[in-house]
Amino acid sequence: MGTTFERNMIDIRLVRDDPDAVRKAFSRRQVDPTEVDRLLEADRRARAAVGHRDEIRARVKDLSRQVGEARRSGNTTEAAALAEQSRALGDEERQADSEATSAQGEVRELLLWLPNLPAPDAPDGEGPQDNVVVRRWPAKARSYSECQRVPHWDVGAQLGILDLERAAKLSGSMFPLYRGLGARLIRALGAFALDHHAQSYEEIRPPTLVRTETMLSTGHLPKFADEAYHVERDDLWAIPTAEVPLTSMHRGDLLEEVDLPLRLCASTACFRREAGAAGRDTRGVLRTHEFDKVELFAYATAEQSPVELEEMVARAESLLQSLDLEYRVVDLCTGDLGNAAARTFDLEVFAPGSDMWLEVSSVSWCGDYQARRANIRYRPTGGGQAVFVHTLNGSALAWSRIWPALIEAGRQPDGSVRLPEALAGYLGGNTVIEPR
């Protein structure tokens, strides 16, 4: 994929040393470059406040030394006067410390809201219309018969494997309820993917609810708070993706370079307040508040990251080919990158009944953006200062989009659905869903 990897994160030192480069990078992401000026001004105030506080602390420390010397020499009058000065400065120090803490908090808040800087070779663009199709499989577009042009919400109802009416009765709109072989298909897909990744990735089953700090570490907070489910009583968040807990598994840790890359894999439910455009992309299960997904995640060095990114994309492609689904690989432009991503490749399958390309995997390199937020470093084998790790993540795969594509593409003239042979072992040998 020819990806260039450079140190390209929101590091306050980078902003101080080369603000023009950061402004240019934000412009590529359609972010107002004056945000850099706001950050620099806040940083200037914070550094001045910290300097003022430290100067007062030094004076207090010096006065304490003088008080000790005066007492040892028996000069109680001078010691008392110096102690009084120290107490007065102590009040001033507390005020200065409060101002410094507040100023540093403003800088941190601005940094938390800013997205990652795009990779140099991410294609420029304003939005999805400027994304670049890298390749497609098979190379020649497939043709689909009339029986495959029926949307999955109709097929699911006809076969009794998708019950959106009862799902709405239980939880409201945009929640799925799968039945019979429809439910078993979701379970089969998860097991199929986990087995596919088992030799290279350690399987994890993380908690579904996580702390605020865990969401902050990935960049999902504070920017996307309105899109997440928050359990206010316990101050816990329902995970929007397993990327969130997997990123924070080593929050605050110092890893060893010899242990990198560290690869993790998790199958979880995911929760998002998906808005969606009114109309066809909210039909069926194309866009839901809850869905199951297998996530790949890696901690790596900067040098290892290109291989890890290609590995994740290749794994997602391998699954799609095993499922015999037509797909394309899309290189996301700078204006369509996720908040934490420096480079992203999406995999989209074609669903003939919905007549749409559906994103089923998003594979991203985040550089050290998330590691800085989570304070995850590694100790170089050759010695020297600890270095922030790089993080990568990718869906392999998201079943709420794979399920519709399989149901639509596999529909037969008699109304049945034939599923890929690769899933036979996970479906008790039964790869045909018959009409009721």
Q: Express each pLDDT in 162-214 by its tens digit.
A: 999 999 999 999 999 999 999 999 999 999 999 999 999 999 999 999 999 99
DSSP 123: P
Residue tagged 């039909």 (tokens): 283
User: Are the C-beta atoms of residues 293 and 395 closer than 8 Å to each other?
Assistant: yes
Tens digits of residue pLDDT in 293-306? 999 999 999 999 99
What φ, ψ does residue 348 adopt, rounded to 5°? -125, 130
Instruction: Give residue 110's pLDDT.
Output: 93
Helices (H), 201-287: 212-218, 243-248
What does the pLDDT average to over 417-436? Answer: 95
List Cβ neighbours of 371 (8 Å cut-off, separation of 6 or more). Answer: 299, 377, 388, 389, 390, 391
Q: Report how far residue 386's alpha carbon sits from residue 380's, in angstroms, rounded to the nearest whole number.
A: 7
List Cβ neighbours of 385 (8 Å cut-off, separation of 6 or more). Answer: none
Of 218, 208, 209, the residue nearest 374 (C-alpha) = 218
Instruction: Give residue 3's pLDDT.
Output: 41
Of 190, 206, 201, 291, the residue nearest 246 (C-alpha) = 206
Q: Are strands 236-238 and 209-211 parallel, antiparallel or unpaired?
A: antiparallel
User: Are the C-beta atoms of residues 122 and 5 closer than 8 Å to each other?
Assistant: no
pTM score, whole prediction: 0.91
Domain 128-433 has CATH 1.25.40.80: no
Tens digits of residue pLDDT in 22-69? 999 999 999 999 999 999 999 999 999 999 999 999 998 888 889 888
User: Are the C-beta atoms of residues 22 and 15 closer than 8 Å to each other?
Assistant: yes
What φ, ψ does residue 262 adopt, rounded to 5°? -105, 115
List Cβ neighbours of 390 (8 Å cut-off, separation of 6 or more). Answer: 5, 299, 300, 301, 302, 304, 305, 365, 366, 367, 368, 371
How buried is residue 57: exposed, middle or buried, by Cβ count under 10 Å (0-12/13-18/19+)? middle
The tokens for 101 are: 């803490």
One-letter amino acid of 111? L
User: Are the C-beta atoms of residues 144 and 132 closer than 8 Å to each other?
Assistant: no
The CATH fold assigned to 32-113 is: Helix Hairpins (1.10.287)
Domain definitions of the chain by residue range? 32-113, 128-433
